[in-house]
């Protein structure tokens, strides 16, 4: 199964943990709300970020979704990331529980003039 769904970012708390030289290493805690589609629920993500004087350079994230996917309730964890020269963030589902146990697949996050959205390509055994 594959679908694309928009979401809302509800939280973004970011701080630096290493600001030596011209490169800043940071951490961000991000919350999202998913409604009106195949995903109904919320997610919490922890991002590790790299920034330079020119702007953001890269991030990697571990994100837990809690809610329902196609009417099945549970949780799943995604690992995703991107560099500043990419127009999307690619990732994979690494764990799932509850009614989503056995879930596998890939994720694609995009943020552009169409707004933030997630494409999930998955199988649920």
Task: List the beta bridge partners of residue 98.
Answer: 74
What's the CATH code of the domain at 96?
Answer: 2.40.350.10
Q: Distance of CA 88 to CAs 3, 9, 80, 107, Å?
A: 16, 16, 10, 10
Question: Residue 102 belongs to what domain range?
Answer: 2-124
pLDDT tens digits, residue range 61-111? 999 999 999 999 999 999 999 999 998 999 999 999 999 999 999 999 999
- Region of 74 (left: φ > 0; alpha: ψ -120 to 50; beta: rest) is left
Confidence of residue 20 (pLDDT cuts 50, 70, 90): confident
| Number of domains comprising the chain | 1
Count of CB atoms within 10 A of residue 21's CB? Answer: 7
CA distance 97 to 12: 26
């Amino acid at each position: 199964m594959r679908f694309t769904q928009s979401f809302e970012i509800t939280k973004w708390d970011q701080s630096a943990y290493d600001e030596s030289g011209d490169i800043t290493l940071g951490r961000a805690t991000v919350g999202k709300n998913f409604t009106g589609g195949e995903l109904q629920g919320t997610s919490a993500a922890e991002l590790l970020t790299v920034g330079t004087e020119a702007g953001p350079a890269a991030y990697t994230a571990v994100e837990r979704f809690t809610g329902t996917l196609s009417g099945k309730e549970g949780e799943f964890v995604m690992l995703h990331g991107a560099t500043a020269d990419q127009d999307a963030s690619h990732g994979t589902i690494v764990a799932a529980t509850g009614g989503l146990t056995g879930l596998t697949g890939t994720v694609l996050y995009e943020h552009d003039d169409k707004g933030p959205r997630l494409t999930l390509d998955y199988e649920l055994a």
